[in-house]
Amino acid sequence: MKAAQFSRFGGPEVLEIVDLPEPHAGVGEVRIRVRAAGMNASDWKKRSGQMDQELPQTMGYEAAGVVDEIGERVSGVQLGDKVVGIGGGGAAQAEFAVLSTWAPIPASLDFVGAAALPSTVETAARALDQLSVTEGSTVLINGASGSIGSAAVQFAVHRGARVIGTGSPATHDYLRSLGAEPVAYGDGLTDQVRAITPNGVDLALDVAGSGVLPELIDLADGAENVITIADVPGAKQYGVRFSRGDEGRAEYAIGLAMQLTDEGTFRIPVGRTFPLADVAEAHRVGESGTVRGKLVLTVG
């Protein structure tokens, strides 16, 4: 099968489309013929050597497609079903991928839109769970207009929380449409937040990693009420929890996102799509930060 891979660390030019053996579904897994695969910042971090150090490496953990192989001890899915999920053994940007967690794709959503969701919604839902965001909570989300931030806003609103979201002024109408009260990031953040909630907030989620943990700690009345998914050094320095993956909740998060999307109350914009063969260009665009919304590779 064709798959994205690199055999040395470096810029996008190190990426290749190579032939690899087809994977097969194991116990509790399904294999899909991939139609679309999501991209994340971790892709270029891996490629540049900031994460895993083994070589060669394949790419991708989330994909949407058609089930063509079902492993043992799997129920509730049939050959030919359209599903989206997480797995792939780090090789989901390929013609075939094995999924360990999945959900059916509703008729209202295409493969590209579905592929934009799994890792984004898993990360957002996990962080909100770890913060214990519930009905009546007031939560500040720093970096609310990006894919993960947008998902966190919508999930928090769905839980009945009041959401304040930081973003550039150009994103404020978008944040309002998601149900958040927008404030501009940068200097004066604390004053802006206290202008609309004088006693601060109950909880704070840092999605952007923009060096604002001290302000979030002050607004949320303590480091124990703050989680970051983007600032490892800051988390260590200020005693803030750093949220890490928990695949056990991924199925719930993906399924809920599919349900809410089908109901018309949830959306993650797709910024651009690229054919699998153009994965290097997709990395260049992703790293440039010039496109708002999720980048997705199309296959076949």
Residue pLDDT, tens place only, 209-232: 889 999 999 999 999 999 999 999
Residue 88's pLDDT is 67
CA distance 39 to 295: 6
Cα–Cα nearest to 227, from 252, 244, 251: 244
The token pair that represents 135 in the structure block: 């009905």
Cα–Cα nearest to 12, from 295, 273, 270, 288: 288
CA distance 272 to 211: 28
The CA–CA distances, whole Å, from 14 to 22, 51, 222, 285 equal 22, 16, 44, 15
Q: Distance from first CA to last CA of the chain, Å, rounded?
A: 11
Going by their DSSP bridges, the two strands 2-6 and 57-58 should be labelled as antiparallel
Residue pLDDT, tens place only, 24-67: 999 999 999 999 999 998 899 899 998 888 999 999 999 999 99
Q: Are domains 2-116+268-298 and 121-242 of this chain identical in fold?
A: no
What percent of the chain has a predicted confidence (pLDDT) above 70? Answer: 99
Neighbours of 82 (CB within 10 A): 18
CA distance 227 to 211: 13
Burial readout 109-138 (b: 16 or more C-beta within 10 A, e: otherwise): bebbbbbbbbbbbbbbbbbbbbbebeeebb
CA distance 86 to 61: 6
Residue 20's pLDDT is 96
Residue 52's pLDDT is 82
Neighbours of 6 (CB within 10 A): 24
The label of the residue with tokens 């296959």 reads: 299
- CATH code reported for the domain at 121-242: 3.40.50.720
Q: Which positions of the chain have pLDDT values less than 70? A: 88, 246-248
The CA–CA distances, whole Å, from 105 to 85, 111, 115, 280, 287 equal 10, 8, 10, 28, 29
Write down the domain spans for the chain. Answer: 2-116+268-298, 121-242
Which of these CATH numbers, 3.30.450.70, 3.90.180.10, 3.90.600.10, 3.40.50.11540, describes 2-116+268-298?
3.90.180.10
CA distance 22 to 26: 13
110: DSSP letter: -
Residue 246's pLDDT is 62
